[in-house]
């Protein structure tokens, strides 16, 4: 009788451990970030905030956004879902659906093919909405002009160890409710971290855009990122290019520069701008401190107001941001 009771106890204990192990393989994830900053305009009064591109346009102390990402994947890795929620001024600028950055389900059809349906961030461009994914805290004109997110379906293909591809069918960019019956098509071809992206809708929002995004490890401590894009809709749009040299100076401190040229086209007097942004990145565990100096200079436009209250073609600003990732 004692042997039987001992056997039952061991069997039940093993079952509990096996159940715990099974539950652990279901891969529930929870992560996110919060960010805030202080910004001052060096050649203009802080009384009138003058934003550049998108995000980080306030003066004085300001908050960016809170980002909460919950993900779940089945124990066999076949299917899963992601809910990516955002709150704050940065979120309000980036999302047309309040507080929802991404919301999608996916199916890993095979080891090389994944289908995704829902709302997901754009595949175009070098920069992203979350400051965690960018080296510079403020964003480029190319990022601000391109789409932020899409609602639709996409298929990702791992063609080989080096090559990848993606095709997409979407509502017109950043549109959650399709009330017109128009759709957008997208495609991507990747090779060793270099991506050629295509987007097309029938003139509903963007029209046509071609975009190249990539980067190279020049050495163990030096990385060069690259972004170039051309967009046209009824013979008007934008084009530009940006370089992102970044150097690692120590285990905790990196220094990076964004040098960007951006221009509108299709008008009678198309303005262009050069954006030079120097950013430091100091990491303390999960906290990153980013001091940033930025200069924006327009060629034939005066969108800013200087310290004397006069229209100006340039604006210099300094900010320091704190980003915590959990």
pLDDT-based confidence at residue 26 (cuts at 50, 70, 90): low
Domain assignment of residue 31, yes or no: no
Q: Label residue 10 exposed, middle or buried (CB < 10 Å: 0-12, 13-18, 19+).
A: exposed
Domain assignment of residue 210, yes or no: yes
Output the pTM of the full model.
0.87
Domain assignment of residue 315, yes or no: yes
Quick one: pLDDT at residue 146? 81
CATH number at residue 252: 2.40.160.10
Domain assignment of residue 274, yes or no: yes
Q: Is the pLDDT of residue 7 over 80?
A: no
Domain assignment of residue 294, yes or no: yes
Domain assignment of residue 2, yes or no: no
Average pLDDT over residues 92-105: 92
Domain assignment of residue 88, yes or no: no
Q: How many other CB atoms are found less than 10 A from the CB of residue 117?
A: 14
Residue 138 or 300, more confident: 138
Quick one: pLDDT at residue 25? 63
Q: How many other CB atoms are found less than 10 A from the CB of residue 163?
A: 12
Number of domains in the chain: 1
Mean pLDDT is lowest, of 21-25, 155-159, 172-176, 187-191, for: 21-25
Residue 305, domain extent: 111-325
Domain assignment of residue 27, yes or no: no
């Amino acid at each position: 009788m004692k042997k039987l009771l001992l056997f039952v106890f061991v069997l039940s204990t093993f079952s509990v451990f096996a159940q715990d192990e099974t539950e652990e393989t279901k891969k529930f994830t929870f992560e996110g970030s919060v960010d805030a900053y202080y910004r001052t305009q060096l050649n203009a009064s802080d009384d009138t905030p003058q934003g550049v591109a998108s995000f980080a346009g306030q003066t004085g102390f300001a908050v960016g956004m809170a980002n909460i990402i919950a993900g779940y994947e089945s124990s066999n890795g076949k299917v899963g879902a992601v809910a990516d929620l955002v709150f704050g001024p940065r979120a309000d600028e980036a999302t047309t659906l309040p507080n929802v950055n991404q919301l999608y389900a996916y199916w890993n059809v095979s080891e090389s093919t994944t289908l995704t349906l829902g709302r997901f961030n754009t595949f175009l461009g070098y920069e992203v909405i979350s400051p965690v994914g960018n080296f510079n805290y403020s964003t480029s004109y190319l990022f601000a002009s391109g789409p932020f997110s899409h609602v639709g379906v996409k298929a990702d293909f791992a063609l080989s160890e080096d090559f990848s591809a993606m095709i997409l069918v979407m509502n017109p960019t950043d549109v959650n409710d399709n009330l017109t019956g128009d759709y957008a098509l997208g495609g991507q071809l990747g090779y060793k971290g270099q991506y050629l992206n295509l987007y097309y809708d029938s003139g509903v929002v963007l029209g046509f855009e071609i975009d190249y995004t990539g980067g190279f490890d020049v050495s163990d401590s030096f990385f060069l990122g690259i972004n170039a894009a051309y967009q046209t809709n009824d013979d008007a749009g934008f084009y530009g290019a940006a370089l992102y040299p970044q150097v690692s100076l120590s285990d905790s401190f990196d220094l990076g520069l964004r040098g960007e040229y951006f221009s509108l086209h299709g008008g009678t007097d198309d303005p262009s701008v050069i954006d030079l942004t120097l950013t430091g990145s100091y990491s303390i565990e999960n906290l990153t401190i980013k001091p940033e100096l930025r200069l924006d200079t327009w060629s034939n436009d005066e969108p800013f107001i200087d310290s004397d209250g006069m229209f100006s073609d340039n604006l210099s600003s300094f900010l320091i941001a704190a980003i915590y990732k959990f």
